[in-house]
Chains A and B, each alone.
Chain A
Amino acid sequence: MIIRKFTGLLLAPLAVTAWLSAASAEDAKSVKDFPLAERIAAKVKSGEPLDIYVSYHDVSNEFAPQIKAGVERGGTTDKANAHFIGPVGADADKQISELESLMSKMDGLAISSVSTDALSPVIDRIIAAGIPVVAFNTDNPASKRLVFAGQDLVQSGREAGKLMVKTLGGKGKVIITTIDAAAQWSIDREKGAREGLGEAKGIEIVQTVNTGTDPQAIYAAIENAMLANPDVTGILSLECCSTPAAGTWVERSNKVGQVKVVGFDLLDQTVELVQKGAIDATIDQAPEKQGFAAVDLLVKFLKGEPINTVDTGVGIYDKSNIDEVAKK
């Protein structure tokens, strides 16, 4: 269950941060039921530090340093050699090649896939070689991964949609922005966001704007979309990077209060714009916590503890509680 406790966002924003680690309905996974490779079993038995590899889908993006910090904390806490790997840029081929090269060295793998379909065969091959694999950050349900640690993307999109409905008082025109409309995470979040927005009959979704990834291009795409649809009163961003651009556009166009922005993550600029009121609310996905859970789950699994899917939840920040983040 996710604690949802935010009321009066329009009139009197109330501090809400809802974190929860919850077991899913999936069955617990145990190493007793897993055909563990002999070399790994021997290593566990001898008490040698385990080599846990955490493959993130893009080590050059904004969240990589935070995920890496969580991975390092996991390695220290669980006394394992935690290796943070992944391609520079979301490149499925590079991620697959790296995993294939390191397969013989890994005692466990946590993976956030560039592409669900492209990565599932290699995940299944690694599992077939007796190496446990968990998914984190971005799930890969098409594979035989054991469990998932991260945010339910459809659910977080749904939360964002509901938050926008509440912010707009149940009526208005909304555009959805994303830096990559074709990416799996974006498709999942957009699905949830449309469901959340669809709960209010007075909300009309005008269009989804695919902004591209370059910051200048993101701003230009939002600027164009808002000019084409001057009656839009809400911008729902599906990720980190079009959120501050939307807030910046609102601030520079003197539309604070007239055009509401709901987005994701806690980039520096996003925090600043929430403080100024140009962004009404943002949803955090706790990347450090995801990195930690990735290592922790694998070490626990290898040492015989049953593991479950971990929902790292959603943290909702608005003007009333954003100072908690700004002080950090």
Chain B
Amino acid sequence: MTNETVRGKTAAKTFHLEHLFRARETGVLLALFVMCVFLSFSSDAFLTSTNLLNIGRQVSLIGIMAVGMTFVLTCGEVDLSVGSNYAFSGLATGMLIIAGWSLLPAIAAGLLCGVTIGVINGVLSTYGRLPSLIATLGMLSVVRGAALIITSGQPVTVNLRNGADPDTFAAFSYMGQGYLFGFIPMQLVFFIFVAAVGWAVLAFTNFGFRVFAVGGGAKAARVSGIPINSVKIWSFVLMGALAALAGILSMAFLPSGQAGRTGLGLELDVIAATIVGGTSLSGGEGTILGTILGVLIIGVLRNGLVLMGISPFVQEFMIGFVIILAVAIDKWTASRRAA
């Protein structure tokens, strides 16, 4: 049985290949395909291996967070603090490396920051009885403020001059800037791994089933004996850990960040990519495959508009327009499917 086939109150169905590409994902995939064909005719640089790998790397961090957001949205909640979490955890990891920590403890500490933020979000949204929109909006500000406090507003740059151990610095840089087999960016490797694990968890595990059940109907889930609060808290924890991982990878790639700018407004990009991929804001619906396609649509669009030399102001307009169009088409086709 697969949870990919569970939508809201729909019972589990037997896994078949055709369920992998349900009508909704096929639509998103088609949109992506049309966009790619159009861009490949519009710009010679688009359909090159360098550019495609660039796109892969550029969407990776948003993609990693979008996997977490798929869990949170599918169980009927939302997390607005991901951008701040991304900044805080990445900056904290960078500061620890500069302070002389070795790689694994520094990364573990960074991930722990993200997990802690996830736990707080989850507890506030469940036992605290606050709507997650409000709880995570507050945390957005709290965590951003904390990042500014720990850095005193100064940029954090991880390099040898600032005190990083040479071996740690080399390993950290490889995490963000390296290439697997000499051509696959490491950020993309992390994204593929996270997406594969996320897909397996959401599609095949008991936890994934419960995420759909809670988002599809909390009362029915409670009657069925599903621990709703626990499922929601774990979804927030997963989101927190993935936001932290993305922040750490960003710090490893650049390798610099600033609390006032890093990840600012990123939550909207993450939520937009997830929703474009078919995840419902009201919960109960969503797939990792759809999320990956949503992330790619926004990434390809952003890349393509720059390649075509479109004015930056027009780019903003078009990205917003495409998000609205994609979600509207999704809603219309969903209504027709329901009918």
Residues of A within 8 A of B (CB): 58-62, 64-65, 88-89, 179, 181-182, 206-210, 213-216, 219-221, 223-225, 227-230, 241, 244-245, 248, 252, 267-269, 272
Contacts and interface: CB of A to CB of B under 8 A. Distances in A.
Most buried by A among B254, B262, B308: B254
Contacts of B138: none
B263 interface: yes
Contacts of B264: 89, 213-214
B317 to A, nearest CB: 12
Interface of B: 43, 45, 48, 50-51, 54, 58, 61, 144-145, 148, 152-155, 157, 159, 161-162, 177, 250, 253-254, 256-266, 302-303, 306-309, 312-313, 315
Contact of B307 (A220, A228, A252, A267): A228
A228 B254 contact: no
A88 B145 contact: yes
Contact of B54 (A209, A227, A245): A227
Contacts of A206: 309
B312 A210 contact: yes
A230 B51 CA distance: 12
Given A215-B250, A224-B303, A61 B260 contact: yes
A85 to B, nearest CB: 14
A272 B161 contact: yes
Contacts of B263: 214
Contacts of A228: 43, 45, 306-309
A64 B250 contact: no
A59 B315 contact: no
A60 B254 contact: no
A95 to B, nearest CB: 15
B260 A89 contact: yes
A88 B306 contact: no
A328 to B, nearest CB: 13
Most buried by A among B145, B153, B262: B153
A88 B148 contact: yes
Nearest to A68: B153
Given A58-B260, A224-B54, 8 more contacts: A207-B309, A216-B250, A220-B54, A224-B51, A224-B303, A227-B48, A268-B159, A272-B161
Contacts of A210: 312-313, 315
A62 B306 contact: no
B157 A269 contact: yes
Contact of A227 (B45, B253, B256, B260): B45
A224 B162 contact: no
Contacts, number: 111
Contact of B261 (A61, A220, A223): A61
A224 B306 contact: yes
Nearest to B145: A88
Contact of A219 (B43, B145, B254, B312): B254
A227 B50 contact: yes
A209 B253 CA distance: 21
Nearest to A268: B157
Contacts of B61: 216
Most buried by A among B45, B144, B177: B45
Contact of B256 (A213, A221, A223, A268): A268
Contacts of A213: 261, 264
Given A88-B145, A228-B306, A215 B256 contact: yes
A205 to B, nearest CB: 12
Nearest to B315: A210
Given A214-B265, A215-B258, A220-B58, A64 B309 contact: no
A88 B260 contact: yes
B153 A64 contact: yes
Most buried by A among B145, B261, B313: B261
B153 A62 contact: yes
14 contacts: A61-B260, A65-B152, A88-B148, A209-B306, A215-B257, A219-B254, A220-B58, A221-B306, A227-B54, A228-B306, A267-B155, A268-B157, A268-B162, A272-B159
A59 B307 contact: no
A124 to B, nearest CB: 29
A61 B257 contact: no
A60 B306 contact: no
A208 B152 contact: no
Nearest to A221: B306
What are the 10 A-B residue pairs with the smallest beta carbon separation, nearest first?
Answer: A210-B312, A60-B260, A224-B306, A228-B307, A220-B58, A268-B157, A213-B261, A61-B260, A227-B45, A216-B250
Contact of A244 (B48, B256, B307): B256
A210 B307 CA distance: 13
A252 B255 CA distance: 12
A216 B315 contact: no
A208 B311 CA distance: 8
B329 to A, nearest CB: 26
Nearest to B50: A227
Contact of A223 (B54, B262, B265): B54
Contacts of A215: 250, 254, 256-258, 261-262
B312 A181 contact: yes
A229 B306 CA distance: 10
Nearest to B141: A88
B312 A62 contact: no
Given A216-B250, A268-B155, A61 B45 contact: no
A58 to B, nearest CB: 7
Nearest to B260: A60
B261 A241 contact: yes
Contact of A65 (B153, B306, B312): B153
Most buried by B among A89, A207, A223, A230: A223
